[in-house]
Amino acid sequence: MLNLDQIKPGATVKVRKVSADGNLQRRILALGIIPGSTLEVIKVAPLGDPIEVKLRSSNLMIRKEEAQNISVEEIVN
């Protein structure tokens, strides 16, 4: 498994695990990023922070620190 910060733009992934603790975990889960959800990586800033992802019909900006705590599996189309 990879972490979300390792995924290239254009890829679609399935969230497998959120490994953050405390406030960071609550923020990630509050965004709707939960195990089983599907994300599309739209854009990664030049220095890797932030990462823009699409969850259902919403575009979200995720900090690299958050993305490093989200384990994902790439979906091959």
CATH class of 2-75: mainly beta
- Domains of the chain, by residue range, sit at 2-75
Between these two residues, 48 and 74, which has the higher pLDDT value?
Answer: 74
Long-range contacts of 74-77 (CB under 8 A, 24+ apart): 74/2, 74/7, 74/11, 74/12, 74/13, 75/11, 75/12, 75/13, 75/14, 75/38, 77/12
User: Residue 10 is which amino acid?
Assistant: G
**Contacts of 76 by beta carbon, 8 Å cutoff, 6+ apart:** none
Is the dihedral angle over the CA atoms 52, 29, 69, 72 positive or is it negative?
negative
User: Could you tell me the pTM of the whole model?
Assistant: 0.88
Alpha-carbon distance of 42 to 22, in angstroms, equals 27
- Position 77 confidence tier, pLDDT thresholds 50, 70, 90: low
